[in-house]
Chains A and B, each alone.
Chain A
Amino acid sequence: MVDVNMTLEMVQASQVGMKAIGAGIAVGLTGIGAGVAEMAIGSAAVGATAENKDVFGLVLLLTVIPETIVIFGLVVGLLLLF
């Protein structure tokens, strides 16, 4: 990766770019992960709510549990950028 002809500015610029890419990957992949996890829970939750409206609060809780993953990704992304 490191080219001897690179100037200090170029190295710094590419570091910034790498950070941005890293942050993007952190948020993007965790977003996909949370989405995949919530997919099954969400459909089951809708089914359960259709059967019995009272469980809405509970199933909402269960549905949003995987959201933590993307929040972690977001925090990592923000830490990388700032």
Chain B
Amino acid sequence: MERVLIKQGAEGKLYSSEFYGKPCIVKERFTKSYRHPALDKSLTTQRMKAEARALLRCRMSGIECPALYMVDIESRCIIMERVLNSVTVREYTRTLQEKDDAKNLLSLAKQIGEVLGRLHSNNIIHGDLTTSNMLIKGYGENSRIILIDFGLSYFDSVAEDKGVDLYVLERAFLSTHPNTEALFQVILDTYKDNNKTGAEDVMKKLEEIRMRGRKRTMVG
């Protein structure tokens, strides 16, 4: 099968190809020569397993993500559905910001909050939430969010881990898209509505983690 390199992410190389006639993405976690071989092997196996497990669990919970086609530990490849006609939420947010489209930014934030609320109420921790790791299909009211890149994910019901997940997103969101504090608050508010049982504890933890976060700059 012909493979075309489309992107080199932090985890590996992404190729566009076809899997039995269906458009697919081949994600190859190639050997990272900078890592100790023992460490590299252990991390790669861990992450491939984590990604496959989370993709399945998301689909079972009604959270949109690419369909998993095949896992090949030997060649370090995961083959999954290629989501057609989609852009990353990072690009989409930039476009909306350039157009000053407050209405659609607001509905985007609500959509993100809703997906994350559902993700966490199913005890899935993504581990690397950024706007680059969310795809969006369609535009404005008719759009849907698809989560990708589950290599660092795991399952846990603890509020601390969910808090860290949101903290990671908050930092990535605010540093990638400056002056969006109000928008991030909308994400959190919608998150609370979609994760009724646990959101209160998670918000408390998030507050705690933010305080921890500031401490580090003390000594230089």
Q: Real complex partners, A and B?
A: no
Interface set of A (CB-CB < 8 Å, partner B) = none
